[in-house]
Amino acid sequence: MRVRQLIAAAAALLLAAVLGGCSEDQAPARTPAPAPAPASADPTTSTGDVRPADRTDVRDGGTLRWAVDGVPATLDVYQDAATADSALLAHALYPSLFRPDEHGRLVPDPDYLEGAESTPPGRLPQVVTYRLNRHAVWSDGTPLSAADLTAQRAALSGLDPAYRGAHPAGYDAIDSITAGADPHEVRVTFRRPCAEWRALFGPLYPAAETATADAFNRPLTGGPHPTAGPYAVSRYDAAGGTVTVVRNPLWWGDRPKTDRIDFLATPPERRLDALDQDRLDIAPLTTAVDRAAPAPATAPAGLTPVPVPGAVPPAPVPPAAAPEAAAGALRRAEALPGVTVHRAAAASLTQLTLNAARAPLTDPALRRALVRAVDRRRIAEAALGPLGLPAAPLGSHLLAGDQDGYRDNSAAAGPDAAARLLDRAGWKRPGAGRTRVKDGRELALTLLVPAGSATAGRTAAALTADLAESGVAVRAVTAPADTFVRDHLAAGDYDLALFSWPAGASPAGEQRPAYAKPRPDADGALDPGGNYGRSGTEEIDRLFDRAAAELDPAARLDLLQEADVRIWQLGHSVPLYQRPELVGVRTDLAGAGAWGFAWPRFQDIGRNA
């Protein structure tokens, strides 16, 4: 599936965790994050930074104020209009049978699932038996049942083109869904093995919203829509920039500590001010820090801000951040009274992609030489050091450093020095410090960088210096977010590109599109799909397909590691570092912070007693 639209980087990170699956021919809805932000702390130790608290030590009641980019046009994460804020709100309002832990492992959520088991490896057909929580009901009193799973499968399988939106991998592998021994048991039979079945039905929507194409295609916003989370919508004000949720009176699990949560549309450049003025309790700060710049003191001519009670008025997007501005913004955030800045390694991999369809990078030998020329640790230090974050270079294309099963496979790029590989590829250096030449052509490349990101700028500078040492001339060019994918990545208009891919809990299904071998389209032209590097092999495709169908976890991981080794050897791209998640949180707030791979447990968030 081609990328449908360019959305904010955070949307890609959040949606990746909920749209995984196990199909060899359908890509999940995913968008590369076009603005690499600061990367993680040491991924071996930074698996989340949430202030823990015993629920008995957290007060009941009160209102929580949470910054979001905007009121989403839909709460259905599978619709084209979905954003990161759609996913965040869905976690508070809708069931997910499984949820990721801090290491990216999908574990049953006992509020919705008493248990689930799949037939063992080698036994066909694969049947997964779910035991739904017998107390789980939609907000209209209807119990969760097989009907909800059946309707969602029909909407997301891609079998009926009338359903518009995403077709996450795995739903097309389902053959049938039936009720089990009682109304709380559901049996899902697959027509082919689906290793990443735990990624399905998260979030799960009520049958009333998915049973027909007309119902599914309508925007899902506030109003009389059944939900089944610890909170329910009480206000959905797109014009006013506020979504308010309150305790769900039919909630069967742990009673939410906070009475009400106000999600307030707050531009990133206004969040530090809002925290300083005690108008927010939780505020994601990664973009605010990375793109920091002085905000105009007054509104531009012709624009009059409209005050909205409880919300921070929008502001013009500031110019690109200078490195010192980003560092200053972080220092300011850390110095805010009554606020703690939490950090975690985000579920996203910042990497350098090489365009194999554009000369001279059509030569695999040259791509492999460039991969060897990149000093990943030096780049991570340059990108993260000014922000006071430990440098942790990545060694996998498919798994984040804090993800279960991570292994550094960079040795697969080979032991030879870049200079020797470049010489073998015919690119000779005419003299010390000179750019290499082959057949009268200098080895000069462009590096596509997202505009406005201080961290991306530092990364680009380090990459340029790295490659210059090997005799490769690199010129950085920037592109804004709204054209980065459409006009450059998708069009193939670049040599090297710096951007981020989300890393989710289902790498076999989620990562395959980024590395699948490009195929000819109906007109005979090469269609890269989501593989912006435009290099791939039948072997890598088969390894992903086998991993997607391998029910033995250890064997599946071995196949993914082998695929990663082949990607390193192909010279497709270079994983650099893991993006960070920076969140400012009131110091007296428990259960909140930077979640990394995990999701917020909304019912536990509240103020210390």
Greater model confidence, 1 or 153: 153
DSSP secondary structure string, 208-256? HHHSSHHHHHS---SSS----SSEEEEEEETTTTEEEEEE-TT--SSPP
Report whether 454 contacts 323 (CB < 8 A): yes
pLDDT value at position 553?
95
Of the chain, the end-to-end C-alpha distance in Å amounts to 50
Rounded distance between C-alpha atoms, residue 387 and residue 438, angstroms: 40
Domains of the chain: 347-579 (3.10.105.10)
Whether 46 shows a pLDDT value over 80: the answer reads: no
Q: Give, as one character, the DSSP assignment of residue 292.
A: -
User: Region 65-89: what's the mean pLDDT?
Assistant: 97
CA distance 382 to 460: 10
Least confident of 23-37, 96-110, 149-163, 273-287: 23-37
Average pLDDT over residues 48-52: 86
Give me the pLDDT at residue 47, please.
65
Q: Compute the half-sphere exposure of residue 443: CA atoms within 13 Å on the CB side of its CA.
A: 28
pLDDT given for residue 457 in this prediction:
92
Averaged pLDDT, 553-565: 97
pLDDT of residue 5: 32
**Residue 388, pLDDT score:** 64
Once rounded to an integer, what is the mean pLDDT over residues 389-411?
A: 92
Q: Are 499 and 491 in contact, with CB atoms under 8 Å apart?
A: no
pLDDT category, 322, cuts 50, 70, 90? Answer: low
Residue that the structure tokens 């309002």 belong to: 93
Does the pLDDT value for residue 495 go beyond 60? yes
CB 586, CB 339: distance < 8 Å: yes
Report residue 272 as tokens. 């530090």
Higher pLDDT, 223 or 229: 229
Question: How does the average pLDDT of the chain come out, rounded?
Answer: 87
- Strand duo 63-68 + 260-265: pairing: parallel
pLDDT: is 227 or 318 the higher one?
227
The amino acid present at 375, given as its one-letter code, is D
Kindly tell me if the per-residue pLDDT of 386 is higher than 50: yes
Both tokens of residue 609? 């007693």
Q: What is the pLDDT of residue 28?
A: 31
Report the pLDDT averaged over residues 154-169: 94
Distance CA 247, CA 606 (A): 13
Q: State how far Cα 340 lies from the chain centre.
A: 24
Where are any strands of DSSP class E within 285-359?
339-354
pLDDT for position 30: 34
> Is the per-residue pLDDT at 602 higher than 50?
yes
pLDDT at 321: 53
pTM: 0.87
pLDDT at residue number 589: 96
Query: Is it the case that residue 123 has pLDDT exceeding 70?
Result: yes
Decide: 596 and 46 in contact? Cβ < 8 Å: yes
CA distance 47 to 403: 8
Which residues, including other chains, have CB under 8 Å from residue 457's CB and lie 6 or more apart? Answer: 320, 323, 449, 476
Distance CA 460, CA 466 (A): 10
Pairwise CA distance, residues 144 & 229, whole Å: 12
Q: Is 369's pLDDT higher than 50?
A: yes
Q: What is the pLDDT of residue 12?
A: 38
pLDDT the model gives residue 514 = 96
Give the other-Cβ count within 10 Å of 500's Cβ.
26
Q: How many beta carbons lie within 10 A of that of residue 524, not counting itself?
A: 7
The percent of residues in the chain predicted with pLDDT above 70, rounded, is: 87
308 by Cβ neighbours in 10 Å (0-12 / 13-18 / 19+) ranks as: middle
Report pLDDT digits (tens) over 175-225.
999 999 999 999 999 999 999 999 999 999 999 999 999 999 999 998 889
Position 15 scores a pLDDT of: 31
